[in-house]
């Protein structure tokens, strides 16, 4: 699942009213660890299945998470996304396109130049 796929759900901005509704629905608690969220505590609207891993913006995929629970999941999401990307590339791109092409080794056909035994450098025909 990449932003190039047709059904990719792009991140949307939640309005303060929507944030308040999610917070009220969660009962003022983190929906991961059930920690009570006080006035000074930072919290996030977390996509339970990450957008980049095929998640949606639907209400049942969005939960209130405290600032302690989020980093660990972000790390896991990044790992999963990287794995998905590698699998996607391996399955959908032909070998020639996915091979990295750096600078050609000097003297090979791909470099376009060749060196004769007498030291003269000339173009490949």
User: Binding pattern to Zn ion, positions 23-62, x when CB under 5 A?
Assistant: -------x-xx-x---------------------------
Minimum Å distance from CB 32 to Zn ion?
4
Please identify, among the stretches 51-59, 67-75, 87-95, 103-111, the one whose residues bind Zn ion according to the rule CB under 5 A. 67-75
| Gap between the Cα atoms of 25 and 28, Å rounded | 8
In terms of Cα–Cα distance, which of 113, 100, 38, 28 is closest to 64?
28
| Gap between the Cα atoms of 52 and 10, Å rounded | 9
Minimum Å distance from CB 39 to Zn ion?
16
| Gap between the Cα atoms of 51 and 3, Å rounded | 9
Among 1, 50, 62, 66, which residue sits at the site for Zn ion (rule: CB under 5 A)?
A: 66
Nearest CB to Zn ion, comparing residues 9 and 63: 63
- Residue whose pair of structure tokens reads 């913006």 in the numeric block: 57
Q: Considering only residues 80 through 99, tell me which ones interact with Zn ion, judged by CB under 5 A.
A: none
Is 4 in a helix, a strand, or coil?
coil
Minimum Å distance from CB 49 to Zn ion?
17
| Gap between the Cα atoms of 28 and 15, Å rounded | 18
Is 123 in a helix, a strand, or coil?
strand
Minimum Å distance from CB 47 to Zn ion?
15
What residues make contact with Zn ion under the rule CB under 5 A? Answer: 30, 32-33, 35, 66, 69
């Amino acid at each position: 699942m990449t932003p190039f796929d047709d059904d990719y759900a792009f991140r949307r901005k939640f309005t303060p009213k929507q944030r308040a509704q999610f917070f009220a629905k969660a009962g003022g608690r983190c929906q991961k660890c059930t920690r009570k969220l006080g006035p000074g505590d930072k919290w996030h609207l977390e996509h339970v299945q990450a957008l980049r891993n095929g998640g949606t913006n639907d209400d049942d995929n969005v939960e209130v998470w405290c600032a302690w629970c989020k980093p660990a999941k972000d790390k896991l999401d990044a790992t999963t996304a990287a794995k998905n990307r590698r699998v996607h590339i391996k399955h959908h791109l032909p070998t020639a396109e996915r091979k990295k092409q750096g600078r050609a080794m000097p003297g090979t056909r791909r470099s376009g130049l060749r060196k004769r035994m007498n030291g003269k450098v000339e173009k490949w025909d």
